Amino acid sequence: MDPNLELYRSLMHLSSTARSQRLQHLAPEEYARVRVIGEREREAQKLEELIAGRDLVQVALNDLSQIIACTPLQCALLGQTTYWYDDGRMVERITNGVARTSSTLVSYISNFDQSPKPLRLDAWKLVYCDVYYVDGGSAALQEIYEERLREEDLQTSASRARELLCQDERMRETILAPQGYEKTLERIWKRVSPAPPAWIQKILEAQQQFGFVYYMAREVQQKHGDDWHSVWGGINEHSLPHRVTWHSIHCQGRDNWLALDRLETEKWPTFNPNESMAEDDDLRKHFQEYREENGDLLPSGILRNTFIVIPIELVSEENCKRTQGELLDPCWVWAYDADWDGSEEETVIDGETYQGRVKVAIWSINSWFYAARWEGVSLRDMWLKAHQHPDKYWICYTKELEEWDHEPARVHQQKHQQSAMEVQPFDQEAFNAAAKEESTDEIKGIGQTIHWSNCDRAFQKKCQGGVWLGMPKEGGWVKVDPGFSVYFIRGSKGEVRSADAA
């Protein structure tokens, strides 16, 4: 009997938000466990209802259109899972984190000669087996691989059915064409768009984790040390303010965004406070020893000049009781200069003396605060800046350049945003070369109104000034003023009409 799972099953008819609220008493890891089981069971039930007892191999051989018309049936015939979570975990496991979804893995394999990835042999076998769902290791995959080879050699019914499905022209158009258009736009976008900030580029190039080393303040450890994982998980589930976290910073595409999300981390060393020492001295001493002992083991993106301390104010009773939709208040943590020793000239402002630490909004830690410390900005100067804030903490917002929504395959971002650095000028020559290379059709603006759909395959550029304009995903009508052009990837099925033809 699994009471938590049974409770989750009884709430499956509710919306995800309502279900989460009803189960907020569960620890985050327990909620995640029952959610995955519940969602997996629901996917299996839906697939069973779609199959309705039919032999899909015979259905495919007799009338392939029935399979083509239903993506879950395609997955079932090929042996793929229909549950996104299982698909992602399997691909990540077999590729050792190089790919995180089956579509990404297939793309890497198909473009191996253009942009090779460090893929293991098992990854190639998995794609050969149509990304068959493998709930096991290399031995299980090898058995499936050898069975597929035997079936193909004998030309069994199952092998012929899969071959029909994979060779069907409509299947290729459905699966491969959108991916090709998306990759085309992404390549053009990366050639003409502003580069991400230098610190983000460094993280993406190194592909190593980034973040800080964290500690609990003594009072926090005394009060919440035994259930810290649950408390900290609850704090991290609260809403994020607009334009503060790294999620709002331009990083040139979905793949980079996902990479940053994967690489962001926290390091929590084992720490037993020395009550005979002042807390600040104790923390610095431990961090310096930890840094020296683990210097070669810590990822290069973990900063060595700063560590973070969680104060009791952040995990106050009020904050712990807030709903997920509320902002934390207080919202700050302590950021310590790891090497401050008090030997510098004393700095005093508003009667307060600088002690080698500064309050920082928790949302800014892995964003512009990380950037500043990565660049070596003085923590003392940041402390002086923090005193200009009403609550005397440091926070930095990403500057909005334009209210755009133009980047292909955007996720979790409503507006294109960049750092406070100067905007790079639009490179007309680079754009022309890219557009020609990628075979685009141009509609020059003369004040006409056009309609489009499938707009992930289209983009608009102002000819003078290099401003890129948004193409809402659902498509629609837009007036193309003189001086503007709309570009559609040639071969796109996106519909383009004049207003008179509406």
pLDDT of 387 > 60? The answer is yes
Q: Backbone phi, then psi, for 268, in 5-degree steps?
A: -115, 95
Whole-number percent of the chain with pLDDT over 70: 73
Residue 478's contacts (CB-CB under 8 Å, 6 or more residues apart) are: 449, 450, 451, 452, 460, 471, 486
pLDDT at 317: 87
The pLDDT mean for the chain works out to 77
Distance between CA 155 and CA 144 in Å, rounded? 16
Sheet containing 484-489: which strands, arranged edge to edge? 440-444, 484-489, 458-462, 468-469
Distance between CA 163 and CA 50 in Å, rounded? 22
Query: What number of CA atoms fall less than 13 Å from residue 59's CA on the CB side?
Result: 17
Mean pLDDT, rounded, for 65-82: 89
Indicate the pairing of strand 301-310 with strand 210-216: parallel
Q: Which of 225, 221, 227 is nearest to 27 (CA)?
A: 227
User: Which is more confidently placed, 325 or 141?
Assistant: 141
Whether residue 203 lies inside any domain: the answer is no
Say whether both 379 and 243 belong to one domain. yes
pLDDT of 323 > 80? The answer is no
Q: What is the pLDDT of residues 245-266, one digit of tens each?
A: 888 888 877 778 888 888 999 9
Q: What is the pLDDT of residues 200-235, one digit of tens each?
A: 999 998 898 999 999 999 999 999 988 898 889 888
Say whether both 164 and 256 belong to one domain. no
Q: Which of 87, 97, 99 is nearest to 134 (CA)?
A: 87
Q: Which of 414, 410, 383, 424 is nearest to 198 (CA)?
A: 424
pLDDT at 248: 80
Number of structural domains in the chain: 4
Q: Is 334 left (phi over 0), alpha (psi -120 to 50) or beta?
A: beta
Say whether both 251 and 293 belong to one domain. yes
pLDDT at 169: 45
Asked if residues 18 and 224 have their Cβ atoms less than 8 Å apart, the reply is no
DSSP per residue over 221-274, as a string? HHHHGGGHHHHHHHHTTS---TTTSGGGS--SSHHHHHHHHHHEEEE-------
Say whether both 377 and 463 belong to one domain. no
Say whether both 66 and 118 belong to one domain. yes
| Residue range of the domain that includes 25 | 1-39
pLDDT at 406: 40
pLDDT of 301 > 90? The answer is yes
Asked if residues 463 and 481 have their Cβ atoms less than 8 Å apart, the reply is no
Whether residue 198 lies inside any domain: the answer is no
Distance between CA 211 and CA 338 in Å, rounded? 15
Distance between CA 332 and CA 386 in Å, rounded? 11
Mean pLDDT, rounded, for 452-457: 42
Distance between CA 157 and CA 330 in Å, rounded? 65
Mean pLDDT, rounded, for 115-142: 87
DSSP per residue over 18-83, as a string? HHHHHTTTS-HHHHHHHHHHHHHHHHHHHHHHHHTT--HHHHHHH-HHHHHT-HHHHHHHHT--S-
pLDDT of 302 > 90? The answer is yes
Q: Max Cα separation, the chain?
A: 85
Buried b (16+ CB within 10 A) or exposed e, 347-384: eeeeeeebebbbbbbbbbbbbbbbbbbbeeeebbebbe
pLDDT at 489: 40
Domain boundary among 190, 224, 251: 190
pLDDT of 452 > 60? The answer is no
Q: What is the pLDDT of residues 152-163, one digit of tens each?
A: 889 899 999 988
What does the block give as tokens for 160?
Answer: 């012929």
Say whether both 47 and 24 belong to one domain. no
> Which H/E stretch holds residue 463?
none
Whether residue 201 lies inside any domain: the answer is no
What does the block give as tokens for 202?
Answer: 């460094």
Whether residue 412 lies inside any domain: the answer is no
User: Which is more confidently placed, 406 or 56?
Assistant: 56
pLDDT at 460: 45
What is the helix, strand, coil percentage profile of the chain, to 5?
Answer: 45, 15, 40
Whether residue 123 lies inside any domain: the answer is yes
pLDDT of 105 > 50? The answer is yes
Say whether both 292 and 387 belong to one domain. yes
Whether residue 419 lies inside any domain: the answer is no
Distance between CA 409 and CA 107 in Å, rounded? 15
186 — pLDDT class (breaks 50, 70, 90): low
Say whether both 106 and 172 belong to one domain. yes
Indicate the pairing of strand 497-498 with strand 448-452: antiparallel
CB atoms within 10 A of CB 493: 12
Domain boundary among 132, 158, 190: 190
pLDDT at 168: 61
Whether residue 157 lies inside any domain: the answer is yes
Whether residue 228 lies inside any domain: the answer is yes
Say whether both 213 and 337 belong to one domain. yes
Say whether both 271 and 385 belong to one domain. yes
Worst-scoring range by mean pLDDT, 31-35, 97-101, 394-398, 458-462?
Answer: 458-462
Distance of CA 29 to the CA centre of its chain: 20
26 — pLDDT class (breaks 50, 70, 90): confident
Mean pLDDT, rounded, for 331-337: 96
Say whether both 90 and 185 belong to one domain. yes
Mean pLDDT, rounded, for 68-89: 88
User: Would you say the C-alpha torsion 288, 291, 292, 293 has a positive or negative sign?
Assistant: positive
Mean pLDDT, rounded, for 42-70: 91
pLDDT at 189: 57
Domain boundary among 156, 190, 224: 190
pLDDT at 28: 78
Q: Is 207 left (phi over 0), alpha (psi -120 to 50) or beta?
A: left
**Residues composing the chain:** 502
pLDDT at 338: 94
Say whether both 302 and 327 belong to one domain. yes
